[in-house]
Structure 1
Amino acid sequence: MNKILRVGGMLIVSTAVILAGCSFETEAEPKQNRWDQIADEKNQHLTREALELKPYAKQVGARLSSPEYERFAVNSRLKVAGTVEKYETLHSDTVWIEMKKTDGPEGTGEKEFSYYVPLKDGSFSRSIQLFNGKGTYQVTVRLPSRDEADHYYDLAQFEVINVNPKVKRDIGKTRAGLKSELKLSRPASGYVEADGAFQLKGSLGRQRVDRVMVHLEKDGEKWKHLLRVDEKGRFDSQIPLFYGKGIHKLTVMTPAADRENYYHEAATLLIRNRSSEEKTPIQYFKHYDTRGIKLEYPLAGGGQGNMKYRIKGSIDPDAPYAEETEHLIVQTEKDGMEATYFVPVENYKFDGSFWLRFGEGEYEVTVNVPEITDEQRDYFRFFGVARFTVTNTAEKDLRNLLPSRGIQSEAKPIKQLARELTRGKETERAKALAIYNYVAKNIRYDVEKFNTDAFEYDDSALKTLKEKSGVCQDYSFLAIALLRSIDMEARFVEGIADGNRHAWVEVKVNGDWLTMDSTWGSGYINQNGQFVERYTTKYFDPNPSEFAKTHRRTGVMY
């Protein structure tokens, strides 16, 4: 209801409000941050003298609107802003703000940090972060020279006390970083924590480049690597933290416009690694870059595997021979023993594994790309792209039982055929003979392949089984795959027979190695160069002295 009062000849109308069990919250002042309060209290005890500018300020008509004092306290950040009347006379359009930590806790150990702030139409403004937690910082604001490039004069110098102990750091960009319009979206700040690796994601602006360089360092250890930049100027990569627990410094470097293979520092980050695991850098070769390979796993050497190890990555579709690259070749080496594996590439991506067949211990692994050529020959050439180490934790040495290049002993058709061939055979010798018989009787020798060196990367036991033809390597691939599929140790023997390169099989029977050459057991090539089928068991467990008259063993291939 309304109530009317007469006061001194004036009518005043007021509204009565009836509150029935309700309460109303009035708007309050925002609560001040604890560290802001501490900074305010600190400032009350400081003698805050007005900030005096250096003589160069008069020469160029410069003023600072922020800060106002020679010495003051803040909660972590402050604003530096000003104007320059004669900015068009300056040799650069960038203001340099340099900070030095002069007192306080060690924090990250970093003592200096710089900002390069654009000077636009005579004005500059930047919120700056005191980069290493609690302590005292000396800040110097500098303006470019009017006469010399890359020369700066002091505009002002002041002292700031950061009361906040938490380490916060911006991404430190250089003038080269500003010029290239470098932007980093991950990480979002210049000081982050990670477990063993972190994602670096960013882009470049007007400068069109195809690579940026990253430089990682900690306690004197250093690593450099090139990252691929796409057609839109973007890059995205996982960066491994090799050197164990503690702070790693990462510098992003952009290519110089006027010098080939030269890079400028563009931005710096600090990453505190929580993981104590130390790793070894992967060694990259020139074909890693030129053939467009990108390893996504592993990111570093020194990993562990239990009998096998994964490899994953992609190929840049625009790189030379990308479309023709149908597989990678992985070679492992341990104590002088080597093995080779193929990892298929589909839609420019690969994700496969390879065996650590020589038992427990450290392996050196080399990843290769094939040479792309139409030339027919009895060997393959390939080029290394990366090398790293892997430790096998499995104690067993299964070199003669695991699948290997061309020997798909785990394949269902191979296993099924081997079971059929050896059904009812009670001894290892009888099983080996059954497999020898099948290969010798069912595979026809390919004379044209032998004469023209028409070897292919996909030559294998499965291919031989399907085509029912091949040369000595193909006979051996199939025989070994069948034997290994029923857990009989078998190996691919390289050698010379009648003056030509040749391959045959050795299989372990009752603890001893038995020789079998299904190729020679299948027939022979006559004087007209034609294959004549003539099955014989002469080359199943042959007399060693007789076999040595025609065959010379040179080694074993895995």
Structure 2
Amino acid sequence: MDLGFLPMGELMDLEKRTRMIVAVALAVLMALITGCGLLSPFQTDAKPKMSKWDRMAREKNESMDLKKLKLEPYAEKVGGELTSPEYEKFASNTRVRVAGSAEDYRDFRAKVAWIEVEKIDGPDSSDEDRFSYYAPLKQGKFDQTIRLFAGKGEYRVTVRLPSTKEKDRFYDLAQFEVTNVNPNWKRDISRTRIGREMDVKISRPVSGLTEAKGAFQLKGSLGKQPNHKVMIRLEKDGEQWEHLISTKNGRFSAQIPLFYGKGIHKLTVLVPDTDRENYFNEAASLWVKNRSEEKRNPIEYFKHYEKRGVKLEQPLSGGGSGNMKYRIKGRIDPDAPFAEETENLIVQTKKDGEEATYFIPVENYRFDDTFWLRFGPGEYEVTVNVPEITDERRDYFRFFGVARFTVRNTAEKDLRNLLPSRGIQSDSDQIEKLARKLTRGKEGEREKALAIYQYVAKNVRYDVQKFKNDTFEYDDSALKTLREKEGVCQDYSFLTIALLRSIGIETRFVEGYADGNRHAWVEVKVGGQWLTMDPTWGAGYIDENDRFIRKYSTKYFDPDPAEFQKTHRRTGVMY
């Protein structure tokens, strides 16, 4: 193996490096033996590097005439002292340690020291220029690091100890002024005395001043009375929104929308008063800077929202927009009453006096679906409902409102008679495939409508028992009728309308009466004119023994209006 040779210059460099390594190794060994630390070769001082704000505070303090802090008369009465800070006026970088004690603490009527921080050259708003800390008193001692919350400027700090005679009364122990040299705003989460007593903790956000865009996640816990609801209050520029949040195992969580546009929103968490029913006390507060300029409307919640355990995740506020349809997403608390039996939510939309209803399926206690904005452009009022859970048989459905909000449709078209609707799955591949098969080779809308009328009337059997027993179900629909080939007037109409709409023919569900009974039939737009058809009556009749007799007839496809009105009375259209 050829070892080669180093030139003399490089050999000398190698020797120097070797000596340096040996020297460092010996120094390390000596440090381990003697317990001494090592200085970095790039440091001139063993202390951590000081930030520019710390340097500025130190330099300002060096230029000031620092005077010893004087205590207030109450200090002598309770044997109080302040060990930190030492001066009545000084400078700091954002934080200040406040520590002290009282010898005669056993008679105190509260277990905290009250430290109030006031920005004396800052904004005029009472929400922004004061901040309170309630430092626990342990064996008469307290130790609290406070934050100079509103950036650069002058602050007054007042330290107070509890009264020995009166509850909820405090007396000044000391007062000092401090100049914050750091311009950055940093806040702690504020907790009131009640919030501390109830052990209210906010785990998210982690700071008392945070930023978000449009919404933020709030998480926290309630140590005492863990099963009680908490109230949240959102405020900005005189506007205010309040909402109740349920706790589970003492924890609460909610996505909070920032309704009022760009700027600072104040959020306050309130807890139930232990002595007064339906009364809440402020427990904690924080501030959120919204980067979004968009303003939204609060959602209106009803009592069944909490009672039935509904939690909307989308939308979080009203005033949103959609292009012909809008998404709704959320969950139902599995422990809430009737949670397992709640298989659908009912969404109702209203615009210019017109209403439409949609069923939103719930699976594994979650829902995520869309509903249509079928009445053209403009603002819609949307109500979300839960069904009444009952064993009673009825020919109608009863439900309870849980939330209401507004949404704007940006689409220009009015597709009320073409879009899918409750029970009418005209967007189903199975429905469309059948419709195209039935109308293959047919010329014009009239022939296509007749072909579909004929199929439904000939293939669906009238369910006499369903009619007599009022056994209507939430899943009654076109697809169910197609599968079971049986139903009553609404089911004949559901299937007929779904087939026609699936191939782009405008059709509507007509409500009314026939021979004194509630009835439903169909109107279809053919050649720009509305044509009436009743596939139920075209399928046959019920004899004197309450048996359905099949007897297909075209008599009820585009019947003479005068003759039709002798047996049928139209009351309106259902969307």
TM-score, length-scaled by structure 2: 0.92
Residue 433 in structure 1 maps to residue 450 in structure 2: yes
Aligned to 1:42, the other structure's residue is in SS state helix
Aligned to 2:120, the other structure's residue is in SS state strand
* CA offsets 1:309-357 (integer angstroms, 9 cap, x no match): 0000011111111111001000000111100000000111111110011
Residue 459 in structure 1 maps to residue 476 in structure 2: yes
Residue 358 in structure 1 maps to residue 375 in structure 2: yes
Closer/same/farther in 2, CA of residues 489 and 22 from structure 1, 3 Å limit? farther
1:398 to 406, 412, 415: 415
Residue 234 in structure 1 maps to residue 251 in structure 2: yes
1:67 to 63, 85, 102: 85
Aligned to 2:498, the other structure's residue is in SS state helix
Specify the code of the residue in structure 2 equivalent to 1:142. Answer: R
1:36 to 23, 32, 54: 54
Specify the code of the residue in structure 2 equivalent to 1:55. Answer: P
For residues 15-30 of structure 1, what are the structure 2 equivalents within 5 Å? 19-20=17-18, 25-26=40-41, 27-29=43-45, 30=48
2:354 to 334, 337, 351: 337
Identity across aligned pairs (percent)? 68
* 2:303 matched residue in structure 1: 286
Aligned to 1:458, the other structure's residue is in SS state coil
Residue 92 in structure 1 maps to residue 110 in structure 2: yes
2:527 to 499, 507, 510: 510
Where do 4+ consecutive residues of structure 1 move more than 3 Å? 17-25, 104-109
**How far, CA to CA, are the matches of 2:526 and 2:545 in structure 1?**
38
* 2:8 matched residue in structure 1: none
**How far, CA to CA, are the matches of 2:394 and 2:53 in structure 1?**
75
Instruction: Kindly state the Cα deviation for residue 106 of structure 1 after the two structures are TM-superposed.
Output: 7.3
Residue 192 in structure 1 maps to residue 229 in structure 2: no
Specify the code of the residue in structure 1 equivalent to 2:294. Answer: E
Instruction: Kindly state the Cα deviation for residue 216 of structure 1 after the two structures are TM-superposed.
Output: 0.2
Specify the code of the residue in structure 2 equivalent to 1:286. Answer: K
Q: Is the 8 A contact 1:315 1:322 kept in 2?
A: yes
Give the aligned length: 541
Residue 325 in structure 1 maps to residue 311 in structure 2: no
* 1:486 matched residue in structure 2: 503
* CA offsets 1:186-217 (integer angstroms, 9 cap, x no match): 11110011111111111122332331111000
For residues 150-549 of structure 1, what are the structure 2 equivalents within 5 Å? 150-231=168-249, 233-549=250-566
Specify the code of the residue in structure 1 equivalent to 2:264. Answer: I
Closer/same/farther in 2, CA of residues 353 and 108 from structure 1, 3 Å limit? farther
Specify the code of the residue in structure 1 equivalent to 2:557. Answer: F
Aligned to 1:549, the other structure's residue is in SS state helix
Cα root mean square deviation, aligned: 1.5
Instruction: Kindly state the Cα deviation for residue 18 of structure 1 after the two structures are TM-superposed.
Output: 5.0
Gaps in structure 2 of 5+ consecutive residues = 1-14, 25-39
* CA offsets 1:115-161 (integer angstroms, 9 cap, x no match): 01110111100100011111111110001101111000000011111
Residue 557 in structure 1 maps to residue 570 in structure 2: no
Specify the code of the residue in structure 1 equivalent to 2:55. Answer: Q
* CA offsets 1:73-112 (integer angstroms, 9 cap, x no match): 1001100001111111100101100111111477997111
**How far, CA to CA, are the matches of 1:28 and 1:451 in structure 2?**
97
Aligned to 2:267, the other structure's residue is in SS state strand
**How far, CA to CA, are the matches of 1:200 and 1:402 in structure 2?**
38
Q: Is the 8 A contact 1:326 1:345 kept in 2?
A: yes
Closer/same/farther in 2, CA of residues 482 and 283 from structure 1, 3 Å limit? same
**How far, CA to CA, are the matches of 1:120 and 1:72 in structure 2?**
28
Aligned to 1:430, the other structure's residue is in SS state helix
Q: Is the 8 A contact 1:105 1:135 kept in 2?
A: no
**How far, CA to CA, are the matches of 1:521 and 1:19 in structure 2?**
106
* 2:68 matched residue in structure 1: 50
Q: Is the 8 A contact 1:198 1:239 kept in 2?
A: yes
Instruction: Kindly state the Cα deviation for residue 502 of structure 1 after the two structures are TM-superposed.
Output: 0.5
Aligned to 1:103, the other structure's residue is in SS state coil
**How far, CA to CA, are the matches of 1:108 and 1:247 in structure 2?**
14
**How far, CA to CA, are the matches of 1:230 and 1:287 in structure 2?**
18
Aligned to 1:59, the other structure's residue is in SS state helix
Q: Is the 8 A contact 2:419 2:426 kept in 1?
A: yes
Q: Is the 8 A contact 2:123 2:129 kept in 1?
A: no
**How far, CA to CA, are the matches of 2:547 and 2:408 in structure 1?**
49
**How far, CA to CA, are the matches of 1:176 and 1:352 in structure 2?**
42
Closer/same/farther in 2, CA of residues 525 and 28 from structure 1, 3 Å limit? farther
* 1:121 matched residue in structure 2: 139
**How far, CA to CA, are the matches of 2:20 and 2:550 in structure 1?**
105
Residue 146 in structure 1 maps to residue 164 in structure 2: yes
Specify the code of the residue in structure 2 equivalent to 1:238. Answer: Q
Specify the code of the residue in structure 1 equivalent to 2:497. Answer: I
* CA offsets 1:478-536 (integer angstroms, 9 cap, x no match): 00000001111000000111111100000011111100100000111122222111111
Q: Is the 8 A contact 1:107 1:132 kept in 2?
A: no
Instruction: Kindly state the Cα deviation for residue 21 of structure 1 after the two structures are TM-superposed.
Output: 8.9
* 2:29 matched residue in structure 1: none
**How far, CA to CA, are the matches of 2:79 and 2:526 in structure 1?**
95
In terms of mean alpha carbon deviation, does 29-38 or 297-306 score higher?
29-38
Aligned to 2:194, the other structure's residue is in SS state helix
**How far, CA to CA, are the matches of 2:53 and 2:321 in structure 1?**
46
TM-score, length-scaled by structure 1: 0.95
Closer/same/farther in 2, CA of residues 184 and 203 from structure 1, 3 Å limit? same
Specify the code of the residue in structure 2 equivalent to 1:451. Answer: K
* 1:82 matched residue in structure 2: 100
Aligned to 1:58, the other structure's residue is in SS state helix
**How far, CA to CA, are the matches of 2:241 and 2:194 in structure 1?**
21
Specify the code of the residue in structure 1 equivalent to 2:151. Answer: G
Instruction: Kindly state the Cα deviation for residue 227 of structure 1 after the two structures are TM-superposed.
Output: 1.3
Q: Is the 8 A contact 1:108 1:247 kept in 2?
A: no
Aligned to 1:476, the other structure's residue is in SS state helix
